[in-house]
Structure 1
Amino acid sequence: MAHINEGFMMKKQLLSTLIPVLLFSAATNAAELYKAEDGSHIDLYSRLGFNITNKGTNDQDTRGVFDGRIGLSGAQTINEHADVIGMAQYQVGAAEYANSLDAGSSDFTARYVWVGIDGHEYGAIKGGRVDSGLIMFTDIGDVFATSDVSMARQAGMVDRTAVQVFRQDGTLQYQNTIGNFDVSAAYILGNDTSALDYGYNAAVRYTLDMGDAGTLAPVISYQKTKADDSNLNPDAEYQFWGVGTRYYLNKLMLGALYSQDEVDGIYAGTSTDKVMEFTAVYDFNDDWAFRAGYRSLENDDGDELELKDTTFEVQYKLTNMSSIYTTYELRNGENGRSLAGGGVRDTGFGGDADENFYSVGIRFEI
């Protein structure tokens, strides 16, 4: 979206061009459907994909997974100082609960639905199911085409509309770029489905241009949510924090992060996830890219899930926006205990924590 916090988006585009064949799926890649003389515009974003994988199956059988997204975004010019902005994006089989608490693999559910005001150099305010500012942090580990992101996985235990800290219903968010700082702060009001008393989060990223030595972009992030009396777990509280950085040098991008999230009022004690991740992305040329990563997750006093995953991925770029890729994931962890009890071990994640997985897929975007 061309008008949403232009400084923030320009810096994001600058960083992404350092690794041009990453599978970024931001609306900045949208096709323009309409543009008026005053700069008002409507854009279309769409993504289609098909993935052959044995991930997410208990018996290791190969299956085919379809992925589809579509959305509209746009801006209406108020004057030279401000625009009205908005987005509505939906996905088949999204990890969402905002519109369907029983969402299945073929359901069409909302990922982002929000409206706001872009005050240009004064920043943007959005309200609704927004793209959380904490994505500045989670993107450090979210570099693979088919990987599941482990950080902040317990957020949905308190807010059923939350997909980790990426997006949550009823969010009022402010974002801006001030010098080399990208800042975001949000208050999460929630709705009847969220069943929240309150919630808030914040993230700050600093971009340091070191010339020939590369670019460093450290990030810190924090979130807290508390359930209200209508929640299934009225005493539940959730807290998340993370620190990490990306480093860019020519065709290489390195990432490292540490995060911790805690949930009270669900288990007998405080369920705590401690997550470390390391990622590397290298562009061989305009067509080929290689990615590798390692993550470690250890849970205490909750489901006791343990992840020790090493992932390798190769991508071939068919067009400027579309690619084929193959991913192999080595897993040496231990499945968590089901909340249902009875000694059942269930990762609550994609597939077994101690089984290796592969994926081969194609993705088309406009």
Structure 2
Amino acid sequence: MNKKLMALAIAGVMAVPLTAVADGTHVTIFGRLQAEYATVDVDGFNAQTAVADDALQSRWGLQIAEDLGMGLRALGRIEYALNPGGDLHNTAREQWVGLGGDQWGELKFGRVQSVLRDFAGGLTVDPFAETSLHANGSGGLMVSSANGYGSGEHGFVKSAVRFDSPVVEGFSVAGLLMPGDADKNDSLLNPENAGGENGEWDFQVGAKYSGQFDIVGVDIFGAYSRDNVSKWGKQAYLASTGDRLKDEQIWRGGAIISVEDFRLRGQYEHVVNANPYGGAASCTQASAFGDYSLANPTLSADRGRGQCNSAMNAGGNGDLWILGADYTIGNTMLIAQGGMTRAKKNHYNDPFLPDAQKRNVENITVGVIHNLSRRSSLFGGYQRVWVKDRNLPAGVDADRNVYSVGVRHDF
């Protein structure tokens, strides 16, 4: 009898989620697993090879939705990153709760994606996004801020509100606001946060148009991002450079043109007053594939796998652009792309601190993605990066080669 009662109790507990689904709540388990065999060869140093997913493309999560009637939905998402072949696990990605409406769009509260990441360009213009052949961080070409406002692998903003409109006649808009004024959100104390005391009300806005004209598809997008520096960041920058740090601004524009199986993709970004405390003068660890410093390469802390070539000089201006093309033959996409990061010279008022000289980084990438099915694919390619950094000793530019093959499965 006790065994029967226990079995009934267990069956009752397991039936609770099923009842919730029947009442209108739907929970979907989703994810992606990816592993690469990648080699990063920086000129003048030993090549480093690993089987891993350092760009954190692998993830798992739950998508929650409940139909509230009258065209209104309750929404939620929980997502964590993984690194097959590595030791990193359960790194937070998206974590939010919100409401959606058929007529007005979606409103999310929590840890959300940057508008520069998934809406207006960003990863949408790079087929190799979140792999070692990506256009973020180590390859330059796109801003990849550690505070989440860029389009890198950690492009998630904490303590934020995001709105996405419905598509009307091909047009849509998105906006993000970080209203928090908590010390723990100060980017000086934690580079992966933005805002902080007197640095709140950071925001992003974006707009795009998508249309199909006979066999020609057109996607045009633009965005603006503002990272208001906290008073702690301003004080720290003044103490270290003798200069005043202004709020960071990023302007972006680009387009994707498709003709049947051929696509041409491009994006341009202009950065003003790059924030060194998690902003455009920084880079996420995933994007850098581990810090690589030429200051003292004998130290273990300086023997990383890559470079952070998308970063601007602290407090300075700069430009980033990418141009690419791909052609799909059956289940195979052939890809070629390249571009440049240009960090302009920045003058400091501290007589004991040398000015930051300009730095140019150029990149070309060629490769292929082959779909084995709707959910599984193979990819591989080669990337070459040329670095012209006037802050380094003469003849030390640390150009690099990247070779990679990988496999990916969605579920």
TM range (shorter): 0.7 to 0.9
TM-score normalised by length of structure 2: 0.68
Cα distance in 1 between the residues matched to 2:376 and 2:341:
32
Q: How far has the Cα of 1:334 moved from its partner?
A: 3.0
Cα distance in 2 between the residues matched to 1:151 and 1:223:
17
Does 2:225 match 1:171?
A: no
The counterpart of 1:182, out of the listed 156, 172, 193, is 172
Match of 1:194 in 2: 185
Once the two structures are overlaid, the 10-residue window that deviates more, 321-330 or 267-276, is: 267-276
Match of 2:207 in 1: 204
Once the two structures are overlaid, the 10-residue window that deviates more, 238-247 or 54-63, is: 54-63
Match of 1:240 in 2: 250
RMSD after superposition: 3.0
Provide the secondary structure at the position in 2 that maps to 1:55: strand
The 3 A distance-change label for structure 1 pair 154 and 281 is closer
Match of 1:16 in 2: none
The counterpart of 2:374, out of the listed 320, 323, 326, is 320
Residue by residue over 1:230-286, the C-alpha shift from the partner in whole angstroms, topping out at 9 and shown as x without a partner, is 44658452211111001122111211111112235649974222112111121110x
Once the two structures are overlaid, the 10-residue window that deviates more, 239-248 or 258-267, is: 258-267
Does 2:46 match 1:59?
A: yes
Cα distance in 2 between the residues matched to 1:218 and 1:173:
21
Counterpart code for 1:295:
G
Q: How far has the Cα of 1:224 moved from its partner?
A: 0.2
The 3 A distance-change label for structure 1 pair 310 and 269 is closer
Counterpart code for 1:308:
E
Residues 149 and 225, structure 2, Cα contact 8 Å, conserved in 1: no
Residues 143 and 320, structure 2, Cα contact 8 Å, conserved in 1: no
Once the two structures are overlaid, the 10-residue window that deviates more, 111-120 or 125-134, is: 125-134
Provide the secondary structure at the position in 1 that maps to 2:157: coil
The 3 A distance-change label for structure 1 pair 154 and 269 is same
Cα distance in 1 between the residues matched to 2:68 and 2:115:
25
The counterpart of 2:65, out of the listed 72, 75, 80, is 75
Name whichever structure is richer in strand by fraction.
1
Match of 2:217 in 1: 215
Does 2:133 match 1:123?
A: no
The 3 A distance-change label for structure 1 pair 336 and 253 is farther
Counterpart code for 1:326:
G
Q: How far has the Cα of 1:139 moved from its partner?
A: 3.2
Percent identical across equivalent pairs? 19
TM-score normalised by length of structure 1: 0.75
Cα distance in 1 between the residues matched to 2:316 and 2:93:
27
Which structure's CA Rg is the greater one? 2
Cα distance in 2 between the residues matched to 1:50 and 1:265:
33
The counterpart of 1:274, out of the listed 285, 296, 319, is 319
Report matched runs for 1:95-134 at 5 Å: 106-134=88-116
Cα distance in 1 between the residues matched to 2:34 and 2:89:
16
Counterpart code for 1:254:
L
Cα distance in 2 between the residues matched to 1:47 and 1:353:
33
Cα distance in 2 between the residues matched to 1:64 and 1:336:
33
Match of 2:399 in 1: 354
Residue by residue over 1:128-152, the C-alpha shift from the partner in whole angstroms, topping out at 9 and shown as x without a partner, is 1112333222134321152142455
Match of 2:339 in 1: 295
Residues 154 and 263, structure 1, Cα contact 8 Å, conserved in 2: no
Q: How far has the Cα of 1:86 moved from its partner?
A: 1.0
Cα distance in 2 between the residues matched to 1:163 and 1:220:
14
The counterpart of 2:31, out of the listed 46, 50, 65, is 46
Q: How far has the Cα of 1:325 moved from its partner?
A: 1.1
Cα distance in 1 between the residues matched to 2:184 and 2:251:
24
Cα distance in 1 between the residues matched to 2:183 and 2:390:
30
Q: Could you list the runs of 5+ residues in structure 2 that have no partner in the other structure?
A: 1-16, 187-194, 239-244, 282-312, 347-355
Counterpart code for 1:123:
G
Name whichever structure is richer in helix by fraction.
2
Residues 295 and 310, structure 1, Cα contact 8 Å, conserved in 2: yes
Cα distance in 2 between the residues matched to 1:151 and 1:128:
29
The 3 A distance-change label for structure 1 pair 109 and 49 is same
Cα distance in 2 between the residues matched to 1:296 and 1:200:
26
Residues matched between the structures, number? 310
Provide the secondary structure at the position in 2 that maps to 1:153: coil
The 3 A distance-change label for structure 1 pair 265 and 275 is closer
